[in-house]
Amino acid sequence: MTALRNDLLLRALLRRPVPRTPVWIMRQAGRYLPEYRATRAGAGDFMSLCRNPELACEVTMQPLRRYALDAAILFSDILTVPDAMGLGLHFVGGEGPKFERPVQNADAVRALRVPDVEKTLGYVFDAVRTIRRELDGAVPLIGFAGSPFTCGTYMVEGGSSRGFPTIRGLASEAPEVLDELMDKVAETTIEYLNAQIEAGAQAVQIFDTWGAALEPGDFRRFSLASMQRIVDGLTREKDGRRIPVVLFTKGAGELLSDLAETGCDALGVDWTTDLGTAREYVRDKVALQGNLDPATLRESADAVRAGVAETLASYGDGPGHVFNLGHGITPDVDPDRVTVLVDAVHELSPQYHES
């Protein structure tokens, strides 16, 4: 494939020197962009958009046409893995994702199959190949998956949930059943991410949205251990390049120190932990990604610029920082505020890197 012209993201994730801090944005392809809304409307529904490689490529490329970002991220959804495991994913207006066949007991977990990802998720890998071709070496492509515990919350609860009572009940009353579920989802996720890498993903991120909702001991047993298994099973080099692995546990706080021991290359940090504090937790063993509060993008242009400056200063000097939000961009954001953010990172970050 075409040589990569901008590899700032890959260098920063591996804590190598860069002239400025690279920037990309979680959910950068999304509802805040009018062109995304138009494409999604034409597709009919969200999963039809995800399952069409050409349309998935189109929405992946849309933010790159507007902004000088340093990475593309595959347009897909974390629930493609449980969907491939046969749970009957569908989306209900105003309620979000639902599963027709939730997995709530030992028999259901035992019956759960580890799918052939090439057959069940081939549309994702087709999208990766299509996006790589369209990028033509401009910036790297990030692939991703949900963590087993985060996917598991939807699989067990049957959809979005407040407090996750059913999966918490499994953790306390039948922990070995939840262990088995985590193992099966982890095995599927390893195959899924490796197939993304084989198709052309140049870095991968695991989104652990709900892991930190567990008590620390349960987090280590059910969320951290399953992510560790994935990290251990991933392809880490392809075409002579390291494939960086990023773990993002929302609300991790002090648990960042545990996550840094997994062998991953970088950790996402949400906005509730200062990046300077996060650096102390991880002792510069891994790169850090983040962590401007997404709500800042709803404020004035001056406030966005000030937020960028504060975030850069909180990380400080040296390699190993990828600028991002502390979570995904929200649909109500003015796209022009993202221009302010990206321009500010370009202008203000070189001072933190050796010339």
Active site (annotated) includes residue 168: no
Range of the domain at 237: 8-352
Average pLDDT of the chain, as a whole number? 95
Q: Which of 11, 15, 20, 40 is catalytic?
A: 40
Give the whole-angstrom CA distance, residue 239 versus residue 32: 35
According to the model, what pLDDT value does residue 160 have? 85
Domain-embedded: residue 3 = no
Active site (annotated) includes residue 302: no
Looking at the predicted structure, is the pLDDT value of residue 162 above 90?
A: no
Query: Pairing mode, if any, of strands 321-325 and 287-292?
Result: parallel
User: Tens of pLDDT along 232-250?
Assistant: 999 999 999 999 999 999 9
What CATH number corresponds to the domain at position 107? 3.20.20.210
Looking at the predicted structure, is the pLDDT value of residue 95 above 80?
A: no
Number of domains comprising the chain = 1
Domain-embedded: residue 161 = yes
User: Tens of pLDDT along 185-202?
Assistant: 999 999 999 999 999 999
Q: pLDDT confidence of 96, banded at 50, 70, 90?
A: confident
Q: pLDDT confidence of 32, banded at 50, 70, 90?
A: very high
Ranges of H-type helices in the chain: 8-13, 34-43, 46-50, 53-66, 80-84, 106-111, 117-120, 122-135, 148-157, 165-173, 175-199, 216-218, 225-233, 256-259, 275-282, 301-315, 335-348
Q: Which of 66, 77, 123, 129 is catalytic?
A: 77
Domain-embedded: residue 1 = no
Q: Which of 11, 15, 27, 305 is catalytic?
A: 27
Give the whole-angstrom CA distance, residue 219 versus residue 205: 19
Active site (annotated) includes residue 27: yes
Domain-embedded: residue 312 = yes
Q: Which of 32, 36, 67, 154 is catalytic?
A: 154
According to the model, what pLDDT value does residue 310 have? 98
User: Tens of pLDDT along 57-73?
Assistant: 999 999 999 999 999 99
Looking at the predicted structure, is the pLDDT value of residue 93 above 80?
A: no
Looking at the predicted structure, is the pLDDT value of residue 45 above 90?
A: no
Looking at the predicted structure, is the pLDDT value of residue 159 above 90?
A: no
According to the model, what pLDDT value does residue 355 have? 63
Active site (annotated) includes residue 66: no
Active site (annotated) includes residue 154: yes
Looking at the predicted structure, is the pLDDT value of residue 1 above 80?
A: no
